[in-house]
Structure 1
């Protein structure tokens, strides 16, 4: 019974209304490392040194970044790991700097039957305006699933990590208060929505891209309910 409930709740993360109608959207992610998207890093030698940020047309950051979420219940500070998830962090910071997360609601908060996740970044804004549009294309931007293994220099792109032994090799896992990207069933459909794990969730490791964690404001997370909102997101 508990396992069935967990599966139903996990499915809710995939139920991203802003993405599910775009499951087969084409992607133009890399110019010179396109094979990574299809085969992951297994197609490359482990000691290969490619600058991902110079090889993609997506926003990309290889540095550690800090973001302050000013919510209607208090402040939450995030630490983002660009070295381990450069495209995911670059995408998130780009939206922050454009003010896209300002006045967006937390559209899913799951605490029962056990603490699970708080999800935000939906296109359902308090103002009713969709700000998650790529200014270069005029369309919603999608990014590939990005997971860094300890044994590889580069992240793996475009595929889930399914082998149990490899899951132990993942750099960033779903620990309590860690930050990940929500997506639809298509592994390359993450865009703006993110979620914060309220407990360790190893069942999600290798399936969703973890890219940071909450470093202050945990007590604020305990207060958040659905329809609470981000007043402003600021890069520090």
Structure 2
């Protein structure tokens, strides 16, 4: 899916992280991403984005995110992944189209909030210019990005493992963060599923 250009940077649908409220997710609402340098534990936020979180959980349980590339990583901004159609590095990685695909599931309605803000560790949904076009792609913020507030769907926040996120291979500044030979999600699982 194409991403919206704002001030020369491509934007993606994103979750907002609470700065004043601590959220402890149940195992059912905990997403664990195993990367090359360790695990990233994400508290999913069905209270903010029930439809988007439900779709992520469905895709995780199908194994759709396993081996999927972090295809767009911009230093000081975010790391984007989740293109289950073109981003599977084990079976069908398509460097020319990665970042434009989604899943076979329907696109999702926007679930924006005014109660949270894009800060370091926020996880949100990538989308095209249409606010109701999020599907499977998501990103993790390296730094705050107030221009994204209220514009993209919040799906979670990193509880543990930002040091692992910080080690994700960065993309080319000349190519808007596109990563050659990218890092990937080795395995994604929901905390309740042992």
User: Which range, TM-score by smaller chain?
Assistant: 0.7 to 0.9
Q: Identify the match of residue 86 of structure 1 among 50, 56, 73.
A: 50
Q: Identify the match of residue 234 of structure 1 among 178, 189, 193.
A: 189
Alignment of 1:76-225 (within 5 A): 76-111=40-75, 115-122=76-83, 123=85, 124-129=87-92, 133=103, 139-148=104-113, 170-225=114-169
Aligned with 1:146: secondary structure?
coil
Deviations 1:204-230 (A, max 9, x none): 011111121001111111110141001
Please give the TM-score of this superposition, normalised by the length of structure 2: 0.73
Q: Which consecutive residues of structure 2, in runs of 5 or more, have no partner in the other structure?
A: 14-26, 94-100, 170-178
CA contact (8 A) 1:84 1:171 kept: no
Range that drifts further, 64-73 or 225-234: 64-73
RMSD across aligned C-alpha pairs, in angstroms?
A: 2.3
CA contact (8 A) 1:96 1:234 kept: yes
Provide the aligned length of Structure 1 versus Structure 2. 154
Q: Which consecutive residues of structure 1, in runs of 5 or more, have no partner in the other structure?
A: 15-62, 134-138, 149-169
Structure with more of its chain in helix, by fraction: 1
1:158 corresponds in structure 2 to none
Matches of 2:118 and 2:108, distance apart in 1: 19
Please give the TM-score of this superposition, normalised by the length of structure 1: 0.60
Deviations 1:134-156 (A, max 9, x none): xxxxx4421011113xxxxxxxx
Q: Which has the higher contact order (CA 8 A, sep 6+)?
A: 2
Matches of 1:125 and 1:190, distance apart in 2: 18
Alignment of 1:3-42 (within 5 A): 7-9=7-9, 11-13=10-12
Alpha-carbon shift at residue 129 of structure 1 (Å)? 4.2
Q: Find runs of 4+ consecutive structure 1 residues off by over 6 angstroms.
A: none
Structure with greater Cα Rg: 1
Aligned with 1:88: secondary structure?
helix
Aligned with 1:207: secondary structure?
coil
